[in-house]
Structure 1
Amino acid sequence: MSKSGAPSLAQVIGGNAAELRGNHSSEELSVCARRFGLKWNTGRVSDLESGKISPTVTTLFALSKALTDLTGAPVSVADLVRPTTKWVEINDQLTVRAEVLVDALSNGSPLANHDRWLGPREIADAFRQEAGGGPDAMRVSDIAAALSESEVKLARSMGLSRVQFVAKALDLWGQPFGDERDARAGADASPQKRGRVARVLKQEMTESTGDGDD
């Protein structure tokens, strides 16, 4: 499991492709993609845009051409890999700053400056730095590094970093999200019940920031 909590490169590319596609349908994009050698159907477009597949460099070139043809606006490979977040996960051992990724792919710049990429030790340090200097910083960073994949996805859906997600849970309930969910659901709870409780907790977290539905 990744420790960074940053979106993967595949997710960045997928999100950008979906945004660049605009109001055009998945079917229209798949037709354009086939013109440029990509044997895609609407399912493949959906998989790409949801970050389920990691496109190769050749696929990125063909996709940029397909999107250019579809939209009538120039789309480059750099447009597809340009992140909207501060960090991007390359794999579970390497996370880089967004501008480093764009520079490397656009200009061939090396990953030479260590303050612009994170390995496992640097990721843990970054969590502690984000958590601040209070007495709970170490606890927050340790919990953030151990979040389950489902908790990471939940945090992302709320627009929260891993550290923000953990800190909010501790502030609301005095314990991590997973512990609160299990306590409310009960020791013998089914996955379905745990899921229902998780949705309730998510709503409580959302409402605590004033972003819930009225």
Structure 2
Amino acid sequence: MTPQKPLPEVVGMNARIHRLRHGTKLDDVARSARNYGLRWSTGRVGDLESGRMPTTLPTLLAVAQALGDATGEPISLSDLTQFDGWVEVNPTFIVRGDAIASALSGQPMKLRARDIRGVTEQVRKTANQAFERWAEDNAMLGRFGEDLPILEVQRVMHEAGVAEQRITKELEVSANVLAVLSLKLWGSSFSAERDRRAGIDANAQRRGQVTRQMKQELRRALEELSRGDD
């Protein structure tokens, strides 16, 4: 199982490893830290190494400089945050350690889905839900619309506006089903056909009349589908 640590623990672990590698004492680090505005005792350095110190940017900068002075070997912010596992930046933002280290080494902050814990699972869940919805749509449509080019269906879905959103909710169908029905019935989207019938200068009353008429046509088509009519 991939390990996970809060960011303060990661910083503390790396700071301790760096200090012990050089045989440097806690008091040496505390004394060096006071030169950079941190009023630290050996206890505060211990808090840092135990992961009990907030990892603000000013603190990290001062710690990196203090550790470098005390040990004689410079340490970067990337070194302080390096971790081969998941790092909890906050309770809902959990990132791969190498992604954080990369960002702090000067690389642009451009996280991928695999770099954030939970995102890939959510993407997979969303995809599964989409596949289930497509299966339901195909079961409803049967062979109706099977001759329609996929790109045309996608185009009509992309052009969908407020009217289409309202109709999908009212008729309890997906955007995909509405696009297929619209193309088969009218050869265009619902909105385009409504505007064509009503006319360019139509008032709200006329557009409403046309909308109601077209919804009835959609309902009849759905009823035919439910009966299995060709």
TM-score between both structures, scaled by the size of structure 2: 0.48
Q: Which residue of 1 aligns with 2:4?
A: 6
CA deviation vs aligned residue, 1:52-72 (integer Å, no higher than 9, x gap): 122211111111111111111
Tell me the amino acid that sits aligned with residue 27 of structure 1: D
Superposition misfits of 4+ residues, deviation over 6 angstroms: none
Q: Which residue of 2 aligns with 1:153?
A: none
Q: CA deviation at 1:40?
A: 0.5
| Percent sequence identity over aligned pairs | 37
SS class of match (2:5): coil
Q: CA deviation at 1:44?
A: 0.7
Q: Which residue of 1 aligns with 2:59?
A: 59
- In 2: Cα distance, 1:24 partner to 1:59 partner: 20
Larger radius of gyration between Structure 1 and Structure 2: 2
* Structure 2 counterparts to residues 173-188 of structure 1, below 5 A: none
Tell me the amino acid that sits aligned with residue 11 of structure 2: I
- In 2: Cα distance, 1:41 partner to 1:67 partner: 14
Contact kept in structure 2, 1:94 and 1:120, CA below 8 Å: no
Q: CA deviation at 1:120?
A: 7.7
Greater relative CO, 1 or 2 (CA 8 Å, sep 6+): 1
Q: Which residue of 2 aligns with 1:116?
A: 115
- In 2: Cα distance, 1:60 partner to 1:96 partner: 18
TM-score between both structures, scaled by the size of structure 1: 0.51
- Are residues 120 and 52 of structure 1, via their aligned partners in 2, closer, same or farther at CA, if it must alter by over 3 Å? farther
Contact kept in structure 1, 2:113 and 2:120, CA below 8 Å: no
SS class of match (1:65): helix
CA deviation vs aligned residue, 1:57-106 (integer Å, no higher than 9, x gap): 111111111111111111111111111x2221112212111221111222
Q: Which residue of 1 aligns with 2:137?
A: none
- Are residues 122 and 52 of structure 1, via their aligned partners in 2, closer, same or farther at CA, if it must alter by over 3 Å? farther
Gaps of 5+ in 1: 126-214
Tell me the amino acid that sits aligned with residue 34 of structure 2: R
Q: Which residue of 1 aligns with 2:96?
A: 97
- In 2: Cα distance, 1:59 partner to 1:65 partner: 10
- Are residues 15 and 112 of structure 1, via their aligned partners in 2, closer, same or farther at CA, if it must alter by over 3 Å? closer
Cα RMSD for the two superposed structures: 2.2
- In 2: Cα distance, 1:114 partner to 1:62 partner: 32
Q: Of 19, 37, 51, which residue of structure 2 is paired with 1:21?
A: 19
Q: Which residue of 1 aligns with 2:193?
A: none
SS class of match (1:89): strand
Tell me the amino acid that sits aligned with residue 74 of structure 1: P
* Structure 2 counterparts to residues 118-137 of structure 1, below 5 A: 118-119=117-118, 122=121
Contact kept in structure 1, 2:86 and 2:117, CA below 8 Å: no
Tell me the amino acid that sits aligned with residue 106 of structure 2: N
Corresponding pairs, count: 120
- In 1: Cα distance, 2:18 partner to 2:90 partner: 25
Q: Which residue of 1 aligns with 2:143?
A: none
Q: Which residue of 2 aligns with 1:81?
A: 81
- Are residues 112 and 81 of structure 1, via their aligned partners in 2, closer, same or farther at CA, if it must alter by over 3 Å? closer
Gaps of 5+ in 2: 125-230
CA deviation vs aligned residue, 1:166-193 (integer Å, no higher than 9, x gap): xxxxxxxxxxxxxxxxxxxxxxxxxxxx
Tell me the amino acid that sits aligned with residue 6 of structure 2: S
Contact kept in structure 1, 2:3 and 2:86, CA below 8 Å: no
Q: CA deviation at 1:111?
A: 3.9
- In 2: Cα distance, 1:38 partner to 1:98 partner: 26
Contact kept in structure 2, 1:111 and 1:117, CA below 8 Å: no
